[in-house]
Amino acid sequence: MKTRKVLGILALALGVSVMSLFGGCGSKPAVDENNSAVSQNVDENSTENESGTEDSNSSENTENSDENNEVEKAEEKITIAYPENMQERGFEEAVVLEKMPVKVVSMSNLPVITLDELGVNMVAIPESSVANWSEDLDAKTTKLKVAMNSNFDIEKVIALEPDLVIMNYSNKDDYGKIVEEANVPVYYVDAGHTVSYDSIKKVTQELINAFGKDTEKGKEIMAKFDATEKRLAKCKETYAGKTVMVMLSSPPSHYVQTKNATLGSMLDMIGFTNVVDNPRAPMLPMDMEKAIEYVPDYVFVVGASKTSEEFETIMAKAFAENEEYWNSVDAIKDGNIIYLPVQYIASSGIDDLDKINDLIDLIEAKYGEK
Are 328 and 261 found together in one domain? yes
Half-sphere exposure of 349 (CA within 13 A, CB side): 26
Average pLDDT over residues 42-49: 44
Same domain assignment for residues 245 and 359:
yes
Quick check: is 72 in a domain?
no
Question: What single-letter amino acid sits at 145?
Answer: K
> What is the enclosing helix (H) or strand (E) of 58?
helix 33-76
> What is the structure's pLDDT at 6?
36
CATH code for the domain in which residue 262 is found: 3.40.50.1980
Looking at the fold, whether 246 and 363 belong to one and the same domain comes out as yes
Confidence band of 339 (pLDDT split at 50, 70, 90):
very high
* 43 occurs within a structural domain: no
Q: Point out the domain boundary residue: 191, 208, 226.
A: 191
How confident is the model over 340-368, as a mean pLDDT? 92
Question: Is residue 201 classed as helix, strand or coil in its secondary structure?
Answer: helix
pLDDT at 132: 82
| 20 located within any domain | no
pLDDT band at 47 (very low <50, low <70, confident <90, very high): very low
Q: Is the pLDDT of residue 93 over 50?
A: yes
Does residue 53 register a pLDDT over 60? no
pLDDT for 319 beyond 80: yes
Residue 292: predicted pLDDT = 87
Long-range contact set of residues 283-290: C-beta below 8 Å, sequence gap at least 24: 283/193, 283/194, 283/248, 283/255, 283/256, 283/257, 283/258, 284/255, 284/256, 284/258, 285/253, 285/254, 285/255, 286/247, 286/254, 286/255, 286/256, 288/254, 288/325
Question: Does 243 share its domain with 363?
Answer: yes
> pLDDT digits over 102-155, tens only?
999 999 999 999 999 999 999 999 998 888 899 999 999 999 987 655 568 899
Separation CA 330–CA 336 (nearest Å): 8
Across the strands, what pairs with 243? Answer: 273
Ramachandran area for residue 182 (φ above 0: left; ψ -120 to 50: alpha; else beta): alpha
Provide the percentage of residues in the chain whose pLDDT is more than 90.
Answer: 67
The reply to whether 106 and 181 lie within a common domain is yes
Read off the pLDDT of residues 164-204 as tens digits, 9 standing for 90 and up: 999 999 999 999 999 999 999 999 999 777 788 999 999 99
One domain for residues 277 and 355:
yes
304 contacts: CB under 8 Å, gap ≥ 6: 129, 250, 311, 342, 345
The reply to whether 258 falls in a domain is yes
Q: How confident is the model at residue 26 (pLDDT cuts 50, 70, 90)?
A: very low
Grade residue 368 by pLDDT with cuts at 50, 70 and 90. confident
Average pLDDT, integer, range 350-367: 94
Flag the least confident range among 145-149, 275-279, 298-302: 145-149
175/265 same-domain check: no
Residue that terminates a domain, selected from 191, 214, 247: 191
With CA atoms as reference, report the closest residue to 266 among 221, 305, 231: 231
Residue 110 and residue 178 in one domain: yes
Count of C-beta atoms within a 10 Å radius of residue 369? 10
The residue among 308, 292, 287 whose CA lies nearest residue 365 is: 308
Nearest-CA neighbor of 298 among 243, 341, 259, 260? 243
- Domain boundary (156, 191, 226) is at 191
Q: Please check whether residues 362 and 244 belong to one and the same domain.
A: yes
pLDDT value at residue 1: 43
CA 291, 292, 294: angle at the middle one, nearest 5?
70
Same domain, 170 and 288: no
Domain count, the chain: 2
Residue 323's domain spans which residues?
239-367
Positive or negative torsion for Cα 260, 263, 265, 271: negative
Average pLDDT of 26-51? 40
Whether residue 38 lies inside any domain: the answer is no
Residues 6+ apart with CB under 8 A from 90: none
Is 287 a member of any domain? yes
Say if residue 216 is exposed, middle or buried (CB neighbours under 10 Å; 0-12, 13-18, 19+).
exposed
Look at residue 41 and tell me if it is in a domain: no
**Confidence at 67, pLDDT banded by 50, 70, 90:** low
Round the average pLDDT of the chain to a whole number and report it. 83
245 pLDDT above the threshold of 50: yes
Residue range 234-259: average pLDDT? Answer: 95
Residue 42 resides in a domain:
no
Q: Angle formed by the axes of helices 197-211 and 351-367, to 10°?
A: 150
Lowest mean pLDDT across 46-50, 59-63, 65-69: 46-50
Which residues contact residue 308 at a Cβ distance below 8 angstroms, ignoring those fewer than 6 apart? 339, 340, 341
Same domain for 360 and 253?
Answer: yes
Q: How far apart are CA 119 and CA 105, in angstroms?
A: 14
Mean pLDDT of 86-101: 96
